[in-house]
Structures are given as C-alpha cells and as structure tokens.
C-alpha cells in the first residue's frame, strides 16, 4: 500500500478546491484493505473513488483518505444474449462505457461521460437520459469492515431508489466496494431514446448503442463544463419530487413550469431543479470565486480559488432562494464531507 503523509488532495477532487489530509492511502488490492483495517476498525478515514460527487468543506482533513484504485475487467458468465462482466471499483466509469461499446455490448450508452469510478456508481445509483445503473447492475462485491470479509449484494438487495441505495443508508460507513458486475447485452439490445434531446441529437442517424453514446457525449459536452478546466461535480442538487397540488400552485404564476409524471407515483411529479434555480436568477451569476454555470443552472462551479466553504455557502443561498420562491427544498446530490 502506498501511503503519503500530509497529502494534497486538490488534484483528486473534481471541485478542485484546496484540501490536505493526514495520510493518503492508495488502495490497489483487497489485501491493502485487509492490511489497513486489520489492527483498528475504528480508524478515522474517508473513502474516495473519482471524487466526482464529493464536496470536501474543510481545508484540512484530520483523517486518512483511502483512494480506491482497484482495477480489472473480467467476463464471469457468458450467455447467448448477455454477458456478466466484473469491473474493479477503481476503473474510470466512462472508460468502461467506451470499452463495452468497443466489445459490442449494449446497456451503458445512456450513461456515457458521467465522471467518477465504477465503485461509486451503485452508491449514487447514477442515472442519465432515462437509464440508471440499477437497470444493468447484477451485483456488488464489497469489503465488510467489521468482519474483514468480501461479501456480495445482488441487485434486488441494493435498495435502489432515485440517486439512492443501501450504501448511503444502512450500510453507510460499514463497507468499501471492491467491484461491480454488470449484465450487458450482446444482441437485440433495447435502446432508450425516450429523452427528446437524444432524439434531436441523433437526427437521421441509425439508432445503435454507439450512436446513442455519441449523442449523449455531445449533449453533455455542450451543457457541462470539463472538471479539468472548471472545477465542478456535475449536478449539485437532485431534481425535487413534489405533490401535484404544489405543482398546480406554481402553475398559477409560472404556467410554463416543466415537470415529469412518475409512473409508480401518480400523486407526485418531478420538477427540474435547473429550471427552479434559473427562475431565481442564479444561472451564470458569479459570487466571488464560485457560481452556477452559465450553460447549466444546476452545476455549481469553482472559478479557480473557491474553498469548500465558499462552494457550500453559495449552494445554500440558492437553496434558500428556491425555497422562498416556490416552497421547494432542494437537496444536494453530492456527498458532503464536513
């Protein structure tokens, strides 16, 4: 295990805010995990993958940071119409999307260009353009901190919900994901082009997993800033789910409010958080070193020297403004490290 004391984490954080930690431990094997936890299971630590959905607020973390760098791709089951493929938790998510397309697999194309690592994907139940990881995930292998054993959870046991899972709730602080296994189709893949943006981007082109991936990449690049250029973590807030009664009240003054019906929840609707933020005037508006991106109102950005506290304070300004204007509380999608 590679260990660095008083380590600078800035380059590992997608917000690119300055943070140091007591020790940075690079985890490259399950043996590294066993070694780290074997003598003291109550150590003060933080687990990071791609750190693409994390806002670290303090500038100095009085704890260890475990950087998960477990790699590998392994076809574990072959069937006529699909394969089960195990990916190490440290693999870059978009890289495995591209790899799967090159191997002729379908299933991940709508999830193209989502930043982060595979190990973080089921924690957040990442999703985009009508697809979530729960739609293709077979199982998750994880290191159980209490017992030191590698355990497996199958899809039905992961308690997936919108941007949520068992890993953010009853298993929080008790695990380290080591790999995930995905069920990817080889033939007769049912593509999802339900989002109009994809259909518009595709135009007359043939509809294939590769063409959908290309369309998603094009859309995301046109709307979202590159974290390597402008520090950000993608969508900062979740799209709120509200009662239809509240929607009707909002429509009295904002008849154009967009919303999406929920098939399994007919009493409620989903409203785009980006639209709510835009109505309050924060889109593209800079506050010191931070602000919400001019190309997408849902993306909180660091313009260069913003601290974790500055980023959080500005997010709370927007949360308050939306609450005052619409009676809706926006909840962060990113994980906050205090």
Report, as residue numbers or ranges, the catalytic residues: 163, 235, 333
Nearest to 68 by CA among 86, 46, 89, 51: 89
Four-residue CA torsion sign, 215, 219, 221, 224: negative
CA distance 336 to 338: 6
Query: In 127-165, which positions are buried (b, 16+ CB within 10 angstroms) versus exposed (e)?
Result: bbbebbbbbbbbbbbbbebeeeeeeebebeebbbeebeb
Question: What is 42-56 written as a DSSP string?
Answer: T--EEEESS-SSEEE
CA distance 300 to 50: 18
Cβ neighbours for 69, distance < 8 A, ≥ 6 positions apart: 26, 27, 28, 90
Q: Strand 60-68 vs strand 45-48: parallel, antiparallel, or unpaired? A: parallel
Tokens at 302, concatenated: 């660091």
Nearest to 8 by CA among 17, 18, 20, 16: 20
* Inter-helix orientation angle 209-223/93-102, to 10°: 150
């Amino acid at each position: 295990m590679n260990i660095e004391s008083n380590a600078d984490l800035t380059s590992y954080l997608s917000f690119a805010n300055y943070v140091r930690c007591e020790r940075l431990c690079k985890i490259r094997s399950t043996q590294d995990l066993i070694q780290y936890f074997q003598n003291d299971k109550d150590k003060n630590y933080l687990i990071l993958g791609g750190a693409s959905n994390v806002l670290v607020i303090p500038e100095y973390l009085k704890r260890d940071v475990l950087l998960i760098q477990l790699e590998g791709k392994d076809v574990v089951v072959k069937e006529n119409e699909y394969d089960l493929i195990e990916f190490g938790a440290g693999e870059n998510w978009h890289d495995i999307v591209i790899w799967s397309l090159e191997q002729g697999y379908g299933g991940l194309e709508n999830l193209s260009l989502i930043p982060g690592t595979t190990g973080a994907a089921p924690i957040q139940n990442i999703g985009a353009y009508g697809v979530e990881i729960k739609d293709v995930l077979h199982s998750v292998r994880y290191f159980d901190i209490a017992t030191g054993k590698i355990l497996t959870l199958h899809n039905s046991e992961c308690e997936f919900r919108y941007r949520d899972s068992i890993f953010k709730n009853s298993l929080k602080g008790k695990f380290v994901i080591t790999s995930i296994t995905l069920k990817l189709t080889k033939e007769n893949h049912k593509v999802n082009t339900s989002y109009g943006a994809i259909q518009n981007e595709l135009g007359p082109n043939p509809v294939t997993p590769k063409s959908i991936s290309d369309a998603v990449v094009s859309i995301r690049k046109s709307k979202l800033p590159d974290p390597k250029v402008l520090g950000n973590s993608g969508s900062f807030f979740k799209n709120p789910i509200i009662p239809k009664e509240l929607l009707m009240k909002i429509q009295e003054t904002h008849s154009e409010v967009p919303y999406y019906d929920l098939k399994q929840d007919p009493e409620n609707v989903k409203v785009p958080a980006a639209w709510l933020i835009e109505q309050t005037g924060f889109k593209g508006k800079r506050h010191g070193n931070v602000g919400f991106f001019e190309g997408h109102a849902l993306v909180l950005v660091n313009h260069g020297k913003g601290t974790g506290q500055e980023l959080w304070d500005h997010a709370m300004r927007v949360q308050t403004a939306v609450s005052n204007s619409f009676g809706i509380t926006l909840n962060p999608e990113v994980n906050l490290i205090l």
